[in-house]
Amino acid sequence: MSAAFDRQIRPVYDALETGSNKSAVLACNKLLKKQPNNNLVKALKALALVRQQKVEESLVLCDEVLSVKPTDDAVLTAMMHVLRNLGRQTDIISMYDNAYKQQPNNEDLAMNVFHANVRTGNWKAAQQVATRMHKQFQEDRYLFWSIYSAVLQARDTSTPPALRPVLYKLAHRLVSTASNPSYHSADRLYVHLLILRELELYDEALSILDTEIGKAICDTSLTCDEMRRGIKKLKGLVKEEGELAQSRVVDKKDRNWLEFLSVLDATFWDVASTSEPTEEARESCKQHIMQTHNLFQQIADSDGLKDRSGMLALLELEHRARQHGFSSDASRILALSEKYFMHFGDKACCVEDLAPYIAFESDDLAKWTSFLETNKSFATASDVQRGLNVLKLIRWNLSTSELTSESESARAAEYVQTYLECLPYGKSLPDTALQPADDLAILAGHALVSAWSHSKDESHLYSAVAILEYASGVSKQSYRIRLLLIRIYHLLGAPSLALEHYRLMNIKQVQADTLSHLVLSRATTFSLSPLGDITYMSECMDSSQIYMSNSQETAEFIVRAFNMEKYTQISEFIEFEDRLDNSLQRDLMKVEHVRMRLTHETINSDLVDMELIELKFIFDRLHHDNRDFEVIPNYQPRCSPSFNEQTMPFQKVLGAKWLAAFLKIYIKVFQQASDLNDIVEDKLLIGDRPKPSNDPDNLLPLNERLAKRTPEEDAAELTAEEQAFYEYATALSTWLGPYHDYARPPPSALLAEATKLNDYKAGHPLKALAAPSNVAAANGNGHAKKDEEPPVVTEPPEIVSKFFDGASPHATPLWFSSDSSPVDIKARFEAAMDDSRLAPELLHIATIAQEAFIVFATESIRFKPASVVKVNKFGGLSQSLKDIRGKASEVLKGISTQLLQLAEQTATAETRRSFVEASRSIQASSGFDHDYVLNVAKRVTDARKDIYEDGENPYYPNGGAGGGGGYMSGGGSQFNSPSGQARQRSSVAQSLRPLTIKQVYSATQAHTDAEWMLEENELGHITVVAQVMEIKKQTTNSVYTIEDGSGRIEARHWVDSTMEDDEDPDQIIETAYVRILGGIKSFGNKRYINTSHIRLCKDPSEFYFHVIESVYCKKLADKGLTSPVQGDVKPNIAELNGASAYTAPAHNVSTDQYTHLAPLEKSIVTFMVSQPPNDEGIHVGAIARAVGGSAASISAALDKLMDEGHVYTTLDESHYALSL
């Protein structure tokens, strides 16, 4: 690279590093004008484009660069980043491989080929490349790269079992012939031992380990020492390992617990190694027990209070002796436990250490409890931890008869009283420190939840919330308290408060995978996304960042580990990457996000196709469950369910079966709603397909796998309502399947349309989308002609037609839950209301009802256009769908009304008073008093009211218009682009402005991503009244050419956006006047109206009224409101919104300095001065429309102004700004 070119390309790199991708594209465009064939500039431009999400344009440049097979390092590096962002890892390997073939002596290229294969887990190719590198460059590192690649290939689940021993033998031969022995480094020795262990060459491995170097390495490397310990165990040398561990414990004072376990394993090896030990073996074992006991007693005596290993080992020795029948002293465990508590009862780990050994009964339990009671004291700060451990250990051994609602309430009151008394001990601690009494509040929460589980009285949960909220305020960093609050708030139906505490825990990195289940399991139940509140959807996206980081960064860690020869870390990185890539929680979140997205966004082909492809990828995975449930504190008695089990939502743990059920539902629904098939999908897929798992089921065809059912397994994880929904969705898909298959356009037509669309976007046809030569013929309505007869229309299955019916007292319900109650959705909801169920149960039933409606809407959207019904002779089908839609609307309306009534009853003075009274027994005189609890009550009841109240609109969308399901606000429609948007959108974006077609063409856009502006005012939605001049109907959309006397423009109306209240497209004919609602769009250099609604004008005066309205709005925009609002008259909200949107400040700059300019140049400058400040400049098109003149004259005038320094370009060569 020359110095001159380096100076020219530097601004591009700077822009990319700072994230200024638009500036980078602009700089690349300038360089490409001078050097159109420069591959580095093309690669950098492609990188900037892909970061701007302009994938189509980036793909064109990628294909151009890859076609020349570059070898320059800068080009290869830039292309690697581009292809990685596009998910085309295979192309990265091919690119580097081609470069290496052209320059076979280039070691850097060879390493890049190896690294590219490592990133994708292509171990076979990596091993071959590394072998070639070792032969060519004679470096030992490359030999071990080859060896370990062979090992990783053997351990890969996709490798056939018969091939694995061959690969290990190959690796053994290579490591045995290495010029330098493996024990020159700990990591190489680890690889050698790993190979020997897999080949069961234990003697050879032990001979290496017995050398001085081997012993020295094991003393300093924990991984090699662990490997040594495992090999000895596999060899059966457990006693020898025990003797070595004993020498380490005694001579080297090693207190590693693994060494103590090795001694214990050796002690019981004579009887543990066989199922039927002989008497001689038992006698030998008894002698070893005595020797080991003396050893551990000696260690415990010598260590005293410094280390607890000896005391704990004595407990474990006695525990194992009892298991094998060697213990004769029944009270020995009790004595050891008491002694352990006296030594280490003031340590936080005491309870976890003793829990496995203190399952006492009868007399021993009484003695143990009495002993603990005598040691219970909270008199000083140093006594708090010991007193806490006493309470926890006593609680652990409570019997079932002692666990009643009354007794647990009394214990909770005792815990709270003690907690408040101990708070002063932590008064001087900083806010970042934990309070010593925190666990007392946690114990109180456990006792109150236990009381609720026995009585189902919500007042106990109110008390638990009150004390835990108080404790979280005192100890702000106690995540354990917040975990309890999250669970209890979900039980009470206050998800906003649960989410608040979850966020205060400040979850980071991989914790998003292990802990996000706390708030995102069945998050759709609590989501308000249909109303524009996308909090839970955003939480799903935020929690998914770890998976994106994993896919981008972990592969780089593996590459670095290879470079530094840290072989002990490579397998861990690979396992980490695999567990995150195939995380169960990741895909549970994805399904929840899809469920919420369908309630929030427009259901169109883009959404359906994209989600279908991704869900099919997920369906092929073999999942790992990384969720952490153990982090939730559990101080419930051992005879009782854990706190996690007691507070589990719906008493069902989401798992792989739940995920599989919902994947089957939505894959089938999206399959039928989509026009994609495997051929089209392969053509349109940009990145590489993920590696399929080795599950034998994946070999079956997709439809067979979708049809497989295991009702017994489903019942373990699905609620009764979810099972009913599963049956309903399956029956619906089966019923509508033949009609979808008949009406779906052929693949050739779809590929032709996709090719045309990509030509529009990228300006070039993509290689993957070669236009098919045999596009099916279409009739005048844009529908492909079919030779076969349409399928006979049948009645819907009973399970579908009656899903939304309310079961009468004498009717037989469609489904039954485990308690034989009907799961018919309306009857189930009414039964839950009658039983005064907890809020989550009511919301869950309502959510399932809503989801069933959305699935129905998605499945039936293809059959809504009258043209589709007419062409395919689906009149009977359309009527059946209309009947079901009507019934569903009525049921959802009823649910909506009942939820609204419930909301009105939730946050009242009476409910707050009940909340305060419930916790009266645990309130104190100061701090945690009536006023504090009342504030908590207000927050809880308001949160519960919000979820009921905001959940009211959603269940009855569009006043029963039947346009779709979901939590919609104010007459929006799920199938229109204007609806389902966030409430935070500006009033301008939500406003509707009448325009003439001339005004549509007068609107300007600073750049492709900017908002449309008309005379300095932002445009939201627009409406136009005009005469239809021409109609072109296609498979997915209809194009209307319209004219209103001021101009002519195209209006594109997508089939997906057709609503029940829209005009029948077949009734709109040429020469008719129509009213169109939508937004301005630009495709290439052509402007059109993206239409959301279109209807005939039935009143002849509507056109004239629209013209007058357009003039009035223009004057209003220019001058604002003519007079202030006076008196009690309410202002017209639409006018005020319009006025605020139409009043923008203009430049206040003198034009005297431009008087010497030519008339055209002066006109350009005057126009630019009059525009509002904008860093992105003014488009040349806006200038041309404002000043008039030919394109050549305006271009020449702008060039002259640039030469004189009056203007300069901004985003690109088409945007200009004044040099003020």
From CA 462, how far away is CA 917, in angstroms rounded? 9
> Is the pLDDT at 1130 greater than 70, yes or no?
no
What confidence score (pLDDT) does residue 965 get? 33
pTM: 0.76
Predicted local distance difference test score (pLDDT) of residue 1057: 40
> Structure tokens of 137?
């460059």
Scanning 1032-1073, the segments in alpha helix (DSSP H) are: none
Convert the pLDDT of each residue in 858-879 to its tens digit. Answer: 999 888 888 888 888 888 888 9
CATH node for 1152-1218: 1.10.10.10
Q: Are 976 and 602 within 8 A, CB to CB? A: yes
Residue 1165, pLDDT score: 87
* pLDDT, tens digit, 9 for 90 and up, residues 1000-1051: 988 888 666 677 888 778 888 899 999 999 888 776 678 899 999 888 999 9
Q: Is 700 in a helix, a strand, or coil? A: coil
What is the reported pLDDT for 1166?
85
Contact between 824 and 805 under an 8 Å Cβ cutoff? The reply is yes
Strand 1215-1218 vs strand 1207-1209: parallel, antiparallel, or unpaired? antiparallel
Which tokens hold the place of 915? 């909340």
What does the block give as tokens for 221? Answer: 């490397």
406-441 burial by CB neighbour count: b if 16+ within 10 A, else e? ebbbebbbbbbebbbebbebbeeeeeeebbbbbbbb
Instruction: Please compute the mean of the pLDDT values over residues 1051-1062 and round it to a whole number.
Output: 59
Task: Give the model's confidence band at 1066: pLDDT under 50 very low, under 70 low, under 90 confident, else very high.
Answer: low
What percentage of the chain carries pLDDT values higher than 70?
Answer: 86
Sheet with strand 1012-1014: strands edge to edge:
1004-1005, 1012-1014, 1017-1018
**pLDDT at res. 820:** 39
Round the average pLDDT of the chain to a whole number and report it: 84
Residue 577: both structure tokens together: 């990457």
At 533 the pLDDT is 72
State the pLDDT confidence band at 750, using cuts at 50, 70 and 90.
low
pLDDT of the residue at 1015: 79
Of 567-576, 1033-1042, 1123-1132, 1135-1144, the poorest mean pLDDT is in 1135-1144
- DSSP-derived secondary structure for 801-836: HTTTPPPPTTSPPS-B-TTS-B--HHHHHHHHHHTT
Residue 1215 CA to residue 1179 CA, distance in Å, equals 4
Q: Average pLDDT, stretch 66-77?
A: 93
Q: Is residue 1096 a contact partner of residue 1072, using CB atoms and an 8 Å limit?
A: yes
Q: Are 266 and 249 in contact (CB under 8 A)?
A: no
pLDDT in tens, 223-253: 999 999 999 999 999 999 999 999 999 999 9
Please state the separation of Cα 1057 from the chain's center in Å.
28
b/e map 850-876, b = 16+ CB within 10 Å: bbbbbbbbbbbbbbbbbbbbebbebee
Segment 141-163 mean pLDDT? 93
pLDDT, mean of residues 1145-1158: 58
Q: What is the pLDDT of residue 1126?
A: 37
pLDDT value, residue 778: 44
Fold of the CATH domain 987-1142: OB fold (Dihydrolipoamide Acetyltransferase, E2P) (2.40.50)
User: Taking the domain 1-86, which CATH number applies?
Assistant: 1.25.40.10
| Paired tokens of 983 | 């409430």
> What's the pLDDT band for 1140 if we cut at 50, 70, 90?
very low
User: Structural domain boundaries of the chain?
Assistant: 1-86, 987-1142, 1152-1218
pLDDT band (50, 70, 90) for residue 1063: low
Q: Return the top range by mean pLDDT from 13-27, 404-418, 749-763, 1069-1083.
A: 404-418
- Given a contact cutoff of 8 angstroms between Cβ atoms, the answer to whether 475 and 434 are in contact is yes
Of residues 1213 and 803, the one with the higher pLDDT is: 803
* Residue range 825-866, pLDDT digits in tens: 888 888 888 877 788 899 999 999 999 999 999 999 888 888
- Residue 683 pLDDT: 62
